[in-house]
Amino acid sequence: MDETRSLAAFASALAYEDLPEQVVHEARRALIDWLACALAGASATGTGALVRVAARVGPGTTTLIGRRERASAPFAALVNGFASHVEDYDDTFNPGGTTVHGSAPVWPVVFASAEQAPISGARALAAFVAGFETETRVGLAAGPEHYEAGWHVTGTTGHLGAAAAAANLLGLAPDVTAQAFGTAGTQAAGLKNVYGTDGKALHPGKAAMDGLLAGLAAAEGFTSSTDILEGERGFLAVLSPAPKPDRLTEDLHETWHLLANGYKAYPSGSLTHPTLDAIRTLRARHGFTAEEVSEVEARVHPYAATVTGKVRPRTGLDAKFSLTHGAAVALVAQRPGLEHFSDAGATDPVLTQVRERVTVVADPTLTKRGAVVTVTTSDGQRFTESVADNRGTPDNPLPDDDLAAKFLDTAAPRLGAEPARELLDLCWRIGADEDFAGLVRRTGAVS
């Protein structure tokens, strides 16, 4: 019954040398994808609001990704965490038992910490892995019932992941890290009721901010519960109807959940992606246009049908969780992009008309990564495509070149084409000898 302490010992001691090369490479991929998403969200309305809040609280010197302004370290973690999730374009750990956007709560802590005390690229990568493995294990221990009860898993478990990364970088002893977990766990929150608003992206931002606070407070002697995860009134007992505490430390040091991470091909909720893949495949194969389509039936997992059930979205944030809208985008656009899931995209008259032809059917025989889509054309032809694992999932991963293209698509408009390419090259090479703060500072310059 010492799961919190065992996980704390793992997180605090994890070093670059402990990581298999495949895990190191995946951490670099996660960094590139997260930066792409943070740069995409740097100009969002909610990001700007939080930047102004940070300025009202007080000045700071910590980098805000894709912006000229600076903030104190905790508020930089908040802003960068928010920006990286607001477009719903960020990575997704999505096995059967949980769904966690693992980078958004953790990388902001690493970035903010790097400008407070020097760290190498190797330490940055190890701290990220410590945080990612911690939060995903907490998510698996909480189980799908945690999400179904109304919690946003990225917000709740992200607090623990952020604290793990902070503790690792601060060099906290295992018992002190357990104290940090206690402080992070008691702050854990994030309600699904705010989906479709800025409140959703606030969750990983607050997780990063609160996790950094938890680590710093523990370093200064601040005390908390050291059994916050498995305790009688702890995280799992209170927040999960069916906890599985053994998942917290199962195959620790042997199973690396980062290797099962996924990266999004489209800037929308991951559960819409199998349908988008199927429609794009059918379009490429049969050459029909949106004008020639009279009906689309998308069969998806019941969970996917529920989460993406915003049939007539009016805002970009809603459109990201609308399977009917995503299907319309796949029918109309040559390449689905951020603009199609913006406020303008949600009310675009062409997309609005096309999505009325889409019907979603819940099918319990499918997984969350699958879909069966049938398109009927106005002349009566019917075309069907099945997707078992959408692009970007572990069994159908995005190649490194596709991740690089995603990064350049979002980074070049904010940083300039050449600085974006230089930053991408630095991310691929980040390792034992680099000053990580140098990389961080490159992300804040706006062209």
* Full pLDDT tens readout for the chain, 447 residues: 699 999 999 999 999 999 999 999 999 999 999 999 999 999 999 999 999 999 999 999 999 999 999 999 999 999 999 999 999 999 999 887 899 999 999 999 999 999 999 999 999 999 999 999 999 999 999 999 999 999 999 999 999 999 999 999 999 999 999 999 999 999 999 999 998 899 999 999 999 999 999 999 999 999 999 999 999 999 999 999 999 999 999 999 999 999 999 999 999 988 999 999 999 999 999 999 999 999 999 999 998 999 899 899 999 989 999 999 999 999 999 989 999 999 999 999 999 999 999 999 999 999 989 999 999 999 999 999 999 999 999 999 999 999 999 999 999 999 999 999 999 999 999 986 688 999 999 999 764
121-145: b (≥16 Cβ within 10 Å) or e = bbbbbbbbbbbbbbbbbbbbbbbbe
* Cβ 121 vs Cβ 434: under 8 Å: yes
Task: Provide the residue type at 123 as one letter.
Answer: R
- Report the pLDDT value the prediction gives residue 187, as an integer from 0 to 100: 98
Task: Provide the residue type at 295 as one letter.
Answer: E
φ, ψ of residue 209 in degrees (nearest 5): -60, -50
Compute CA distances 228 → 140, 145, 182, 244, whole Å. Answer: 16, 19, 5, 14
> At 108, which helix (H) or strand (E)?
helix 107-114
Question: DSSP states of 425-442 as a string?
Answer: HHHHH-STT-BHHHHHHH
- Residues ≥6 apart with Cβ < 8 Å to 328: 290, 351, 352, 354, 355, 358
Q: What is the spatial distance between Cα 133 and Cα 230, in angstroms, rounded to a whole number?
A: 17
Task: Please name every residue paired with 100 in a beta bridge, in sequence order, or none if there are none.
Answer: 93
Where along the chain do its domains lie? 3-264+399-442, 270-387
**Number of other CB atoms surrounding residue 224 within 10 Å:** 17
Q: What is the spatial distance between Cα 286 and Cα 373, in angstroms, rounded to a whole number?
A: 14
Q: Tokens at residue 142, please?
A: 């909480």
Q: What is the CATH number of domain 3-264+399-442?
A: 1.10.4100.10
φ, ψ of residue 364 in degrees (nearest 5): -70, -10
> At 358, which helix (H) or strand (E)?
strand 358-362
Task: Provide the residue type at 445 as one letter.
Answer: A
**Number of other CB atoms surrounding residue 238 within 10 Å:** 12
Q: What is the CATH number of domain 270-387?
A: 3.30.1330.120
Compute CA distances 398 → 91, 353, 434, whole Å. Answer: 11, 31, 27
Place of tokens 């409140």: 199
Q: Is 430 exposed, middle or buried (0-12, 13-18, 19+ CB in 10 A)?
A: buried
